[in-house]
Amino acid sequence: MEMKNILNRMLNHEELTREETKNIILGITQSEFPEEQITALLTGLQMRGVTVDELLGFRDGILETGVPAILNCDRYIDVVGTGGDRKNTFNISTTSCFVIAGAGYKVAKHGNFAATSVSGASNVIKNHGVQFTDDLDKLNRSLDEAGIVYLHAQLFAKAMKFVGPIRKALQFPTVFNLLGPLVNPSQPKCQLLGVANLDQMRLYNQSKEIKMKTMVSPSLLSANFIDLKSDVEMINKSEADWLHMDIMDGVFVPNISFGFPVLEAVAKVCTKPLDVHFMIVHPEQYIEQTAKIGAMMMNVHYEACTHLHRTIQQIHAAGMKAGVTLNPSTPVNVLEDIICDVDMVLLMSVNPGFGGQKFIENTIKKVNRLRKLIKESGSHALIEIDGGVQGETAPRLVQAGADVLVSGSYVFKSSDPCATIHNLKELKKEED
């Protein structure tokens, strides 16, 4: 890409495409452009004003060249501001993170050294004696034990390191101030955003794609058990969010899958959070054992739990997220009194325990009904779908309101499982 041509187009008041701004970031991280040209670009964009497509392209480039931070926690918040209001206040977003974490909530703060303000998030964190790291084990331990983890931008968003000296020299806000809230490497579901002015707020509101991607939880049941380690390593390298593991007892469902020895072996090599689905009678008997292997989510069937509320409480007490699964014939209204207590609801779109079944079309309507129940109740539960999730059904499920897609054969039997996972994650919901 010729930066000279880009700059000439900007002088003619032309807008850049999303792909062009993405390629600019790629070029910056590969040292293709001299600092003078990058300075001219940032200055020109600030004078003209950045468009939505340009902003999204820059974001795409930063995320593509960056390093993801996989946190073993399903729901946490990032508090972030754009900076650049020239008021020289203390770092409000970072201070807010301390308060929120102190209140018992999980926080994954992403930030950098000051470029346009007197104090950036990294300045605050470093002066408190924290050593920046990209070691995921240390980061997850910090989140677990302290309730807060700090992700230094220059360790994860590589482009930030390249433009840091230029931003510091310019001493005025640039497009990178706007990008900070969009490139948290952990991709949190929850974010509290502060803006310097109303124009920035409108820009974010107009950016319809600035939302959480669809989550994907490939089902281990479809993996190659002759070479299971290779498939787990593929999952580790992929964009998969979780690894779905089905436990069947031959009683609640007619099939038998695998037990805790396999769970324990997989847990040792899998870097993704474990999404464990129990298709068994009396799942409450295995809560402590499931927690011991490090499972993130324990999912039990509504139909198998006589005392569901107590079981959910026990799962939470053991340090796990609690999910509830509904069979195809079970209506969503049975969850009215429990929906605010669960972290996720799994809707079976085939009858559990049988392979090769046709997707049950009524699932689409069921997702809509569940989404309405969640919204009206004020619940924060995610919606997960398991059964017949593939290229034709997945987009419709996401449009209906599904948050997490469980897919087995469609992923593991594809010619490029990582690409298949990527394509599922790119599915977007329509605006509410």
- Does 291 lie in the same domain as 227? yes
**Amino acid (one-letter) located at 33:** F
159 and 307 inside one domain: no
> b/e map of 225-252 (b: 16 or more CB within 10 Å)?
eeebeebbebbeebbbbbbbbbbbbeeb
Nearest Cα neighbor of 173 from 183, 163, 182 is 163
Residue 220 DSSP one-character state = G
Kindly tell me if the per-residue pLDDT of 338 is higher than 70.
yes
Element spanning 385, H or E: strand 382-386
| Domain closes at, from 206, 224, 247 | 206
Residue 139 has pLDDT above 60, yes or no: yes
Give the pLDDT confidence score for residue 1 in this predicted structure. 64
Does 298 have pLDDT greater than 90?
Answer: yes
First to last CA, the chain: 38
The residue among 371 and 208 whose pLDDT is bigger is 371
State the average pLDDT for the chain.
87
Average pLDDT over residues 74-102: 80
Q: Are residues 82 and 179 in the same domain?
A: yes
**pLDDT tens digits along 141-194:** 999 999 999 999 888 887 777 787 887 787 788 888 888 788 888 888 788 888
Token pair for residue 333? 């209204």
On whether residue 83 sits in a domain, the answer given is yes
Strands of 274-279's sheet in order across? 215-218, 404-407, 382-386, 344-348, 321-326, 297-301, 274-279, 243-248
Q: Are residues 90 and 190 in the same domain?
A: yes
Q: Please tell me the distance from the alpha carbon of residue 274 to that of residue 177, in angstroms, as a whole number.
A: 35
The reply to whether 321 and 295 lie within a common domain is yes
Examine residue 430 and state whether it is found in any structural domain, yes or no.
Answer: no
SS3 assignment, position 255 = coil
Q: Say whether pLDDT at 85 is over 70.
A: no
From CA 101, how far away is CA 97, in angstroms rounded?
Answer: 6
CB 431 within 8 A of CB 241: no
Same domain for 303 and 192? no
CATH of the domain at 244: 3.20.20.70
Q: Are residues 219 and 192 in the same domain?
A: no
Interhelix angle 18-29/52-65, rounded to 10 degrees, is 40
Kindly give the residue spans of alpha helices, DSSP state H, lying in 49-152.
Answer: 52-65, 92-102, 121-127, 136-146
Q: Which residue among 167, 188, 206 closes a domain?
A: 206
For the record, the structure tokens of 126 come out as 């470093």
In whole angstroms, how far apart are CA 423 and each of 201, 267, 405, 417? 30, 26, 12, 10
In this structure, what CATH number is given to the domain that contains residue 53?
1.20.970.10
Which residues contact residue 232 at a Cβ distance below 8 angstroms, ignoring those fewer than 6 apart?
220, 223, 243, 266, 269, 270
Q: How many CA atoms lie within 13 A of 221 on its CB side?
A: 27
- Identify whether 338 is part of a domain: yes
Greater model confidence, 377 or 393: 393
| Spatial contact of 344 and 404, defined as CB atoms under 8 Å apart | yes
Domain identity same for 89 and 202:
yes
Q: β-strand 297-301 against 243-248: which pairing, if any?
A: unpaired
Higher-confidence residue of 414 and 379: namely 414
Which range is least confidently modeled, 21-25, 137-141, 400-404, 426-430?
Answer: 426-430
Residue 208 has pLDDT above 60, yes or no: no
Domain assignment present for 71: no
Residue 431 reports pLDDT greater than 60: no
Decide if 220 is inside a domain: yes
- CATH code of the domain in which 139 resides: 3.40.1030.10
Q: What is the pLDDT of residue 305?
A: 94
Q: Could you give the number of structural domains in the chain? A: 3
Is position 431 within any domain? no
Which residues does 371 contact at the CB level (< 8 Å), separation at least 6? 383, 400, 401
Same domain, 101 and 184: yes
Pick the more confident residue, 152 or 83.
Answer: 152
What length does the chain have?
Answer: 432
**Total H helices, total E strands in the chain:** 19, 12
pLDDT given at position 432: 46
Could you tell me the CA-to-CA distances from 4 to 9, 38, 40 in Å, in that order? 9, 11, 10
**Percent over 70 (pLDDT), the chain:** 93
Domain boundary among 171, 206, 241: 206
> pLDDT-based confidence at 209, cuts 50/70/90?
very low
More confident residue, 86 or 276: 276
Radius of gyration of the chain (CA): 23
Q: In what order do the strands lie in the sheet with 107-111?
A: 148-152, 107-111, 77-81, 190-194
- Whether residues 221 and 364 share a domain: the answer is yes
Do 393 and 298 fall into the same domain? Answer: yes
Q: How far apart are CA 92 and CA 75, in angstroms?
A: 22
Residue 432 lies in a domain: no
**Do residues 109 and 39 both lie within one domain?**
no
Mean pLDDT of 254-280: 91
Q: Out of 150-154, 193-197, 233-237, 359-363, which region has the weakest mean confidence (pLDDT)?
A: 193-197
Between these two residues, 119 and 275, which has the higher pLDDT value? Answer: 275
Query: Where is mean pLDDT largest: 18-22, 222-226, 365-369, 379-383?
Result: 365-369
Residue 81 φ/ψ, nearest 5 degrees = -120, 160
**Domain boundaries, position 93:** 77-206
Residue 72 domain-assigned (yes or no): no
Active site positions, annotated: 219, 244, 246, 248, 277, 279, 348, 386
pLDDT band at 240 (very low <50, low <70, confident <90, very high): very high
pTM (whole model) above 0.75: no
Tokens encoding 217: 């939880």
